[in-house]
Structure 1
Amino acid sequence: MELELRHLRTVRAIADAGSLTRAATALGLAQPALSAQLKRIERALGGELFERGRHGVRATALGELVLERTRIVLPAVTELQQEAVRFARSPGATASLRLGGTHGPLLGALVDRLADVAPEVRVTTCTSWSERQLAGLLAEGRLDFALAGTCGSAAPPGAEGLVWREVAVDPVFVMLPEGHALADAHEIGLTELAEEEWACVPGDGCFGDCFAASCARAGFTPRRMYETDVTSLVHLVQVGRAVGLCRATYPTTPGIVSRPLRGTPLSWRHLLGRHAVSQDADTSATVLAQARMAHAGVAARSDSYTEWLAARRVP
Structure 2
Amino acid sequence: MELELRHLRIVCAVADAGSITKAAAALGLAQPALTAQLQRIERLLGGPVFERDRAGIRPTPLGDLVLTRARLLLPALSGLREEAVRFSNSGDRAGATPASLTVGSASGPVLGRLLHHLTTVYPGLRVSTQVSWSSEELAAMVADGRIDYTVVGVCGDAPPPVQSGLTWRVLGTDPVFVMLAADHPLADAPAVGLADLATAQWGATPGDGCFAQCFAAACARAGFTPRTLYETDVISCIDLVESGDAVVLCQPMFREIPGVVAVPIAGVPLKWRHLIGWHPDGPAAGLSDQVVTLATAAYADAIARSARYTNWLAGNPRYGVQPGLPAV
TM-score (normalised: structure 1):
0.86
Q: Which amino acid aligns with 1:274?
A: W
CA distance in 2, matches of 1:242, 1:2: 44
Aligned pairs (5 A) from 1:84-95 = 84-91=85-92, 95=99
Distance 1:242-1:95 versus aligned 2 partners, 3 A rule: same
CA distance in 1, matches of 2:5, 2:270: 32
Shift of 1:220: 0.7
Shift of 1:275: 2.6
| Partner secondary structure for residue 176 of structure 2 | strand
| Partner secondary structure for residue 105 of structure 1 | helix
Aligned pairs (5 A) from 1:15-26 = 15=15, 20=18
Q: For 2:206, which of 202, 213, 217 is the aligned residue? A: 202
Q: For 2:40, which of 39, 44, 47 is the aligned residue? A: 44
Q: Is the 8 A contact 1:82 1:278 kept in 2?
A: no
1:232-261 Cα distance to aligned partner (Å, 9 max, x none): 111111221111111112222221110111
Is structure 2 residue 56 aligned with structure 1 residue 60?
A: no
Range that drifts further, 101-110 or 2-11: 2-11
- Other-structure match for 1:164: 168
CA distance in 1, matches of 2:28, 2:152: 21
Q: Which amino acid aligns with 2:305?
A: R
User: Any unmatched runs of 5+ in structure 1?
Assistant: none
1:4-29 Cα distance to aligned partner (Å, 9 max, x none): 656634544665x5x638xx6xx996
Q: Is the 8 A contact 2:143 2:163 kept in 1?
A: yes
Aligned pairs (5 A) from 1:101-116 = 101-116=105-120
1:19-72 Cα distance to aligned partner (Å, 9 max, x none): 638xx6xx9967997977864552231154344679886431232232233212
- Other-structure match for 2:180: 176
Distance 1:44-1:169 versus aligned 2 partners, 3 A rule: farther
CA distance in 2, matches of 1:179, 1:293: 34
1:206-240 Cα distance to aligned partner (Å, 9 max, x none): 11111111111111111222211111111111221
CA distance in 2, matches of 1:7, 1:276: 28
Shift of 1:3: 7.2
Shift of 1:103: 4.8
Aligned pairs (5 A) from 1:141-290 = 141-279=145-283, 281-290=285-294
CA distance in 2, matches of 1:229, 1:201: 5
Q: Is the 8 A contact 1:99 1:143 kept in 2?
A: yes
**What is the identity percentage for the equivalent residue pairs of Structure 1 and Structure 2?**
45
| Partner secondary structure for residue 187 of structure 1 | coil
What RMSD, in angstroms, separates the aligned Cα atoms of the two structures? Answer: 3.1
User: Any unmatched runs of 5+ in structure 2?
Assistant: 319-328
Q: Which amino acid aligns with 2:168?
A: W
Q: Is the 8 A contact 1:174 1:258 kept in 2?
A: yes
Distance 1:141-1:245 versus aligned 2 partners, 3 A rule: same
Q: Which amino acid aligns with 1:244?
A: V
Distance 1:219-1:7 versus aligned 2 partners, 3 A rule: farther
Q: Which amino acid aligns with 2:38?
A: E
- Other-structure match for 1:135: 139
Q: Is the 8 A contact 2:107 2:153 kept in 1?
A: no
Q: Which amino acid aligns with 2:135?
A: E
Q: Is the 8 A contact 2:255 2:306 kept in 1?
A: yes
CA distance in 1, matches of 2:51, 2:171: 41
CA distance in 2, matches of 1:261, 1:175: 10
Q: Is the 8 A contact 2:148 2:284 kept in 1?
A: no
Aligned length: 309
CA distance in 2, matches of 1:60, 1:175: 49
CA distance in 2, matches of 1:63, 1:54: 19
Is structure 2 residue 312 aligned with structure 1 residue 308?
A: yes
